[in-house]
Each structure stands twice: as structure tokens, then as C-alpha cells.
Structure 1
């Protein structure tokens, strides 16, 4: 799958290495070295995916991501961070980053992550008519129907809202606060603790062994994700 990838990385040697690996994988690559250039380039010629380093001059990666989401940009973002602080990762995910890698990382792993993210792209359609598939799980938003390996599973409105959001972007980490946003308007009294309860109930319904979840998994310190290949 050939795509236009924008690399925003202030380390010029690292940026050039990424350019070489991504080009070898068949992608068109544009490289910038600071946050302002990343934002300007993303607005001028929106790429299919932005690889965004958090630590950059002029504007850091979080500010770039925040500005893009204010633009209502649907651009996919893969964050790169050398920071070990979970707060930075949480902030990036809250701002709408689709995935992240912590430095040091393998360029081959990055290319694999890029390939996975690009596979998630779908033609723009009415979300109410969308059907999402993640491994054995099928979520039909229009019919409000969930199936696991062909078996229909009954879900409450709150459970369905969470599952549909995660099935639309498999492998993406969702924080509890993000999942809470998806239940607003459905469950006015929802709290972060409610999200944990919904996840626990969903695991009983969709997992072969809820005590060892393989589909709806915990990403410790961050939140939850739905895997496409349990």
C-alpha cells in the first residue's frame, strides 16, 4: 500500500533513516524538522499519515497534534517519544494520536506500525451505516448488532458505544476518558469507573476466557485497545 507519509523529526540522521525505510516500503515521504513546519505542511498538503516526534523546536508534537485536531483533521498520527512519562503518552492519546512508539525503536517496527495504521483507512461514509470487523468480532453500527464468530451478542447502549468506537480503530489505545466521551448522551451518570465495568461486562460477552482477555486487552497505565488478531 503506497501512501504519502510526513515525518516530523528534529534529529536529521534519524529522519533520514526513516525516509529510507519508508521509501523502501513503497511510500512517498516528506521530512520536516520542527513543529511549525509539520503543522504548515500538514495543512498545505495533508499526508495519509504523520509520524510526529514529541520533542521538536518551535512547536512540540503535542501542540501540533492539538492544532490538527482543532482543525477537525482526520489525519492519522503516529507519535514518537523519548519520554518515559506516562502523562505525555496519555496527553497525546487524548489529543487523538492513533499510535505511539517510544525511543529507541526499530525502524522495521515503525514501518510495520505504519502498515497497520494505513490498513485501517476506510472510505468516508455515514458512520451510522458502518460495519466494523476486528478478528472474530463484527460490529454493525446501523443495525446496532454485535457478533462474535457469527454468534449474536446482546450489548447495552453504553457497551455498544464503547465497542463500536474501539472496533472502528482496532489496535488504537483508548484512555478511559476517551471511552467516557463516547458514552455521553447515552449514560449521563457515567464515570471512569463505569468504563471499567463496561469493559469487564464486554469481556464476559466476547472473550472465550474473560480472565485472560485476548481481544479487548488492557494497556497498563494507559487504557484499553481492541486487537484485530486475538
Structure 2
């Protein structure tokens, strides 16, 4: 534990990672300021030093994870023409469900103040699902120009279906529910790599 008066390096990420471990291990109901700081091995008041309460902490944690996934989506353009289209998309979409993603989303939805802060931040331009949708649309259009996505696929509609389904599964997931990632993988494959389409590797 960091002693009083000694700065804790990378404090935000340290607290965020600790919160994810608490939620993944013990469920959303176990997330308290003390549980987070205990898990992080730092002073009990550290969370409130850096955040305006637990609701603000939860909101900023969710926004940080959304921003990370949006950044990964924007990086998809560099993967055009490599591997398969579905696997490239999976690297982005499935990241939303890593660690405690669904549980954290459910936690945010159960805290009205956190939900409101997230909505206001997204409305103000914070990267989130809209940014992911735009990046996936641009990526699919690039793959289409390379002949790896069929001309019959509308990139913007496919991106909306992928991101919208991911959002739905995140918002409706419950502890102990089936893993949503296989569903996402099947949907991505169906939308962009139907039987015989160029984005699919040839059969052995």
C-alpha cells in the first residue's frame, strides 16, 4: 500500500483495473470505494481525491474503456487486406466484453448519476459507440474496395448491426449469463463473410 504523502503512479488506471477485478470476481454489488482502493493496494481516500465520488468514478471508467475500444476500431484501417475481415473485426468488438465489461455496463446503468454523466460526455463528443460505428464503416468500405467484402454488403448498415448488437448485449448482460462473444462472432461472420465471400479463407 502506498504510504501517505507518496504519489501513486498511474493512479487512474490502477484504480480502474482494480474496479474491474472486483466486479469480475465479486459482482457489481461489491463495488465500493473501499473495495476498489483495497484491491488496488492504495490509501482508502485516494479514489475520492481523484474522482468526485463513486458515480463519477464508474462513469469515467466506462468512458475510458469505450475510448480504448474506439481507438482500436480506428486502427482497423491499417488491417485492410490482412488476415480475414471477421477476425479483424473480432479484435475490436470482442474487446468490449473483455474482463468485467458487461458487468461494468450493468453497474453504470444501475447508477442513475453515472448513466447521466456518461450520456452527457458522449453527447459532448467523447468517443463511444458512434465512433466505433464510423470506424467500422470506413474499414468495411476499405475491404470492399479490395474485393474482400461483397458489393451487396452495405458497410454502414453492417457496422450499425455489429455495434448495435454489441451495445444491446452489454446493456442486457447479467452475471452468470451465457458468454455473449460467440454470438458476436457469429453475427460478424454472417454479415461480412457469408459462404463463398472473398473475406473468408478458402476451404481446406
Q: TM-score, normalised by structure 1?
A: 0.26
Q: TM-score, normalised by structure 2?
A: 0.29
The structure where strand makes up a greater share of residues is: 1
| Greater Rg by CA | 2
